[in-house]
Structure 1
Amino acid sequence: MNDKIWDKFKEDNTDLWVFAYGSLLWNPGFEIVESIPSVLCGYRRSFCMWSVHYRGTPENPGLVLALEKRKGEKCRGMALRCKREDKRKVLSYLHKRELISYAYIECTDNINLSDGRTPIALLYVVNPDHPQYTGNLSLEQQAHIISSARGDVGPNSDYLSKTVNRLNQLGIADSNLEKLNKLVRERLG
């Protein structure tokens, strides 16, 4: 666990909020006591990270979502809050899960909750200097990769469809992911 991150949440009266924008929406892996729509300003959700473990292999990498810093953009997602007594355990779990190859930067930023609160939240942002950062791939390129990749936890296409389905259930529109999901479904027949 990152001590600098822990220092921001260690006080007994401080809540741990996690900004969920991808698989944490449908597979958080920890008990949630509050889940609320939220917006993260200055970032976007993007299939910009090669997956060589969970959704691909070194020989046939898949793609996973990451947050990319983008001035003027906003990412809609969910803020997930765990029990205060579980903060250390949740931080440790997420550190192991998300930093399997250190392609993400574990950091914090303020998020805007739909009820007006603006807490600090834990984020996983792509490291643009890491070899797993893809840069900008077209939707066609992404569809080609996602439709053919498979990793330790299953097909890359499942990751995409589960994320799109969960976003739809939550009423969060993401037209790029919708278009990408359609392209992948067409490729898979």
Structure 2
Amino acid sequence: MWVFGYGSLMTDGWEKGFDCTQRVTAELKGYRRAFNKASVTNWGTRDCPCPTLNLVPEASANSLGIAFEFTEVRRGEVEAYLAKREGKNFKLSNLEVIADGSGAVQALVPLYAGKNIIQSHDMRTAIELACHAKGSSGKCSDYILNISEQLKMLGINDPAVTEMREILCKAPSG
């Protein structure tokens, strides 16, 4: 069984607790990263949500991330962990990814299906929220800069993350 990570799942070492047999770069076609999931607890509040990463469908897009392989006997444990970690508003979708060295594989991909979506596609609005939002896990701007750094360390250049980081770093409060 495979799991595809596109955010914090890529780098925090969660997979070690489930005897991951392989960890490789992978590509998910037909989706792109977007900062449109409103974090209202960890990185923001209801009054000032933090725009956090989500994947949105777009036919011509692709997202690079990390694919983790586990033995089939660990499936139940891995799925239960992901369901708890990601929360009730994430659906574990079975999608095809292209895993380095293994080709096309079916992988579980956590996709947000809740109502906390930032409807505005205006980058100015997203940056304003990112500069001011703060939640139980810290400042939204730190979340964005950390995601950007994680992708950089993995050699992944994502346009949405790069643009958000560049604008955030130029913002007066960023």
Give the structure-1-normalised TM-score: 0.80
Give the equivalent residue in structure 1 for 2:104. 118
Paired-residue identity, %? 25
| Structure with the higher strand share, 1 or 2 | 2
Which residue pairs with 2:143 in the alignment? 159
Aligned residues of 2:28 and 2:97 also touching (Cα < 8 A): yes
Contact 1:20–1:77 at 8 Å: present in 2 too? yes
Q: 1:90 aligns with which of 73, 78, 92?
A: 78
Give the partner amino acid of 1:123: V
Shift of the 86–51 alpha-carbon distance from structure 1 to 2, 3 Å rule, reads: same
Unaligned runs of 5+ in 1: 1-14
CA distance in 1, matches of 2:64, 2:21: 20
Are 2:5 and 1:20 equivalent residues in the alignment?
yes
Change (3 A) 1:106 1:54: same
Count of residue correspondences: 170
Which residue pairs with 2:117 in the alignment? 133
Structure 1 residue matching 2:91: 3-state secondary structure: strand
**Partner amino acid, structure 2, of 1:27:** D
Q: Deviations over 1:18-63 (max 9, x none)?
A: 1111111232533144211111111111111111122112222111
TM-score (norm: length of structure 2): 0.86
Matched residue of 2:77: which SS?
A: helix
- Counterpart in 1 of 2:95? 109
Is the 1:161–1:181 Cα contact (8 Å) retained in structure 2?
Answer: yes
Alpha-carbon offset, residue 86 of structure 1: 3.6
Runs of 4+ aligned residues of structure 1 deviating over 4 Å after TM superposition are none
Matched residue, 1:149: 133
Q: Does the CA-based 8 Å contact 1:23-1:159 persist in structure 2?
A: no
Structure 2 distance, partners of 1:33, 1:157, is 34
Conserved? CA contact 2:33–2:160, under 8 Å:
no
